[in-house]
Amino acid sequence: MPQSKTQPTGPSTLLKTLETEMERNWSAFKKLPTPPFYLAYEITEHESANVSGSFGTLVSSSSNDKTRYLDIDLRVGSPTLDNYHPVRGSMFNMLDNFNPVTIPIEDDPAAIRAAIWYQTDQRYKRSIEQWIAVQTNVKVKAENTDKAGDFSSGPAESFVEPVVKLTGFDRKVWEEKVRRYTKPFRRFGNVYQAEARLNISIETRIFVNSEGSRIQTSQPYYRLGITGFAKADDGMELPKAEYWHSSTMEGLPTDEVVLAKVDQIAKDLMKLKLAPVMDPYSGPAILSPRATGVFFHEIFGHRIEGQRTKNEDDGQTLKDKVGQKILPEFLNVYSDPTLKKYGSSELAGFYRFDNQGIKARRVTVVEKGVFKNYLMSRTPIDGFPASNGHGRRQAGYNVEARQSNLIVEATETITREELKKKLIEEVTKAKLPYGLFFDDVQGGFTMTGRQGPSAFTVIPVMTYRIYPDGREELVRGVDLIGTPLTTFGKITAAANDPSAFNGICGATSGGVPVSAGGPSLLVSQVEIQKKPKSQERSPILPPPFDDPNIGTWREFIFGGNL
């Protein structure tokens, strides 16, 4: 049964209403003493459904939830210097960066126009205040290093996509599914949290601006996640999760696939409980494709977001590296928001237009190891005067240059087995007892500012020691750390096993869906440190219910009779 349908092609009532109010306000603004030079309206509508379950029971359930946010970009001054220019030395710049405004969720032109009018008036008054502050700030502070101005022009785009509606979603069916997906965890008294969560969100964005753009896009996101959480006897917290993303309900996995993964998560949690704790280590390691994706998204991806370098406090790691080799020659990196699929995976970072009305396009970031391009919003930086369609935001935030689908591509590859052999060679050569294989990672973070070290942390979940004889041993309690440029230089080989993962990236312009992908990589030297450990001991009393399976989890993972 189809789970979503589209309304007839053509501009929606909402788009026509936005155009009407844009036209009225823009012509009225021209008569004011300080007229804006640019005005854009973006309405972001989310129609969503969410169902979650835990240990075989329903925890929450909702459907037909609808929200609409209005974002207004109103610029006074000139493209060279405008009210969005960062005010240096101000502690509360972030207050202007987040301004969520809700508007009616029905297509009632009078009600929507009233809301737009009211908010535009507020926004214009605030823009004038910002503009006065900016003009003084640039005079009293040191000269900006970046001379590229504050805003780049864009073409007038016209694109109208049918609005997708969530129909046919059977909440009762999914309430049963989340119960079924989490019921297997009940047999473990030592799994303390287990959740299955379905999030459906249809994001419809309507954009108009004073340059004549009128854009309507509608994109469904279906996301199913299974998470489990246990603790080792020493108190270490052990999370394990699996997520699926699709643009259709049919693209989500079957019950058999999900239940097999639930079984695997439970097994992994029990194995992790028994796994030895790693000591700090420095030596060669293999990153799985998933680890490669997180590694590049966090360590590399945030440093190629061009708008960051405008900030005088940014570390600007790659600022002087354009045209220089920063990765091995066999690696290319590109960001492609027009990519819907990578291998068998649908990509969450797909979009047709960014949040500034600029058409999405593929950007070659690194070619044969040489750094070529930043990801650009309409905020220009020296050497990159125009947007390349990467101005993104969560509704309510100001736009920043952000990642979309970041893909690492290797032009020379070997098999996974050969990569393992190479790792063992490096281990033997360095006379180390073992190398490492980072199979699954939970996430990571990086600091790009100058106030702290330009370092990164990737948080592995499943890490294996690989011994010279090829044996693999699961370990726990490690974080992968390092500094970007040094680590990039130590990538020595890639496997022919590329794949991608999806997630929500949270940064200065809010949470946006992203994807990252690539092959397994061999890094000649990584550094790991012990991860922070919870000091909370396991429960004093055993679980309250008399489950005959409690206490038999060792058999469960080692082939017992469960």
Partner 1 sequence: MRRRSFISIPAVAAVIPTSLPAALPDDTLLKAMRDELKRSLKKLQLENLEKPYFLSYRIVETQTTGASASFGALSSSTDFRRRILATDCRVGSYEMDNTNFYSARSAMSGVIRVQANFGLTLPLDDDYDEIRRQLWLSTDAGYKQALDDLAKKRAALENRTRTGAAIADLSKEEKTETVENESPSLLTKTKSETLAKQLSALFRDAKGIDNSGVRIDSTNVLTRFVSSEGTEFWRNAPSIMLNWYAEAQAADGMPITDVESHYFNSANEIPVLEDLTKKIRAFQKRLLDLSAAKTLTRYAGPVIFEGQAAAELFAQGFATALLGTPRIVVDDQRFEGIFGANTGVFSDKISTRVLPSHMRLTDDPTRPNLAGTYKVDEDGVKTKPTIVVQGGILKRLLNTRSLVPGVTDSTGNRRGAGLAPSNLILESSKAVPAAQLKQDLLQIVKDRNLEFGVMIRKIANPADQFAKPRGRMVIFTGGSAGQALQLSPVIEAVKVFPDGREELLRNIEISGFNTSAFRDLSGVSQETITYTAQFRNPRMSPLMGGMIMQGRVLATYIVPALLFEDVTLQLPAGEVPKLPFIAHPSFA
Residues forming the site for partner 1 (CB under 8 A):
21, 24-25, 28-29, 32, 53-62, 64-67, 102-106, 108, 110-115, 117-118, 120-122, 124-125, 179, 186, 192-193, 229, 231, 534, 536-541, 543-545
Nearest distance, CB of residue 455 and partner 1, angstroms: 26
Give the tokens for residue 13: 């009532």
Nearest CB to partner 1, comparing residues 79 and 189: 189
Helix (H) or strand (E) holding 267: helix 255-274
Nearest distance, CB of residue 187 and partner 1, angstroms: 11
Nearest distance, CB of residue 111 and partner 1, angstroms: 4
Nearest distance, CB of residue 515 and partner 1, angstroms: 30
Nearest CB to partner 1, comparing residues 231 and 308: 231
Triad 50, 51, 53: Cα angle to 5°: 150
Nearest distance, CB of residue 109 and partner 1, angstroms: 9
Would you report the helix, strand and coil content of the chain in percent, each value rounded to 5?
Answer: 25, 35, 40
Nearest CB to partner 1, comparing residues 167 and 193: 193
CA separation for the pair 543, 550 (Å, rounded): 9
Instruction: Specify whether the CB–CB gap between 302 and 469 falls below 8 A.
Output: no
Nearest to 276 by CA among 464, 470, 127, 25: 464
CA separation for the pair 140, 143 (Å, rounded): 9
Nearest distance, CB of residue 473 and partner 1, angstroms: 26
Nearest CB to partner 1, comparing residues 51 and 376: 51
Nearest distance, CB of residue 59 and partner 1, angstroms: 5
Triad 275, 279, 281: Cα angle to 5°: 120
Nearest CB to partner 1, comparing residues 62 and 136: 62
* Alpha-carbon 149 to chain mean position: 28
* End-to-end Cα separation, the chain, in angstroms: 36
The pairing of beta strand 158-160 with beta strand 214-231: parallel
Nearest distance, CB of residue 235 and partner 1, angstroms: 9
DSSP states of 409-465 as a string?
A: EESS-B-HHHHHHHHHHHHHHTT-S-EEEEEEEEEEEE--BSSS---EEEEEEEEEE
Nearest distance, CB of residue 21 and partner 1, angstroms: 7
Instruction: Specify whether the CB–CB gap between 438 and 460 falls below 8 A.
Output: yes
Contacts of the segment 311-316: beta carbons below 8 A, 24+ positions apart? 311/86, 311/449, 312/86, 312/88, 312/144, 312/145, 313/449, 313/450, 313/451, 314/448, 314/449, 314/450, 315/447, 315/448, 315/449, 315/450, 315/454
Instruction: Specify whether the CB–CB gap between 299 and 333 falls below 8 A.
Output: no
10 Å Cβ neighbour count for 71?
24
Nearest CB to partner 1, comparing residues 187 and 325: 187
Nearest CB to partner 1, comparing residues 187 and 362: 187
Nearest CB to partner 1, comparing residues 108 and 211: 108
Give the tokens for residue 432: 């180390």
Nearest distance, CB of residue 76 and partner 1, angstroms: 12
Nearest CB to partner 1, comparing residues 122 and 153: 122
Nearest distance, CB of residue 176 and partner 1, angstroms: 11
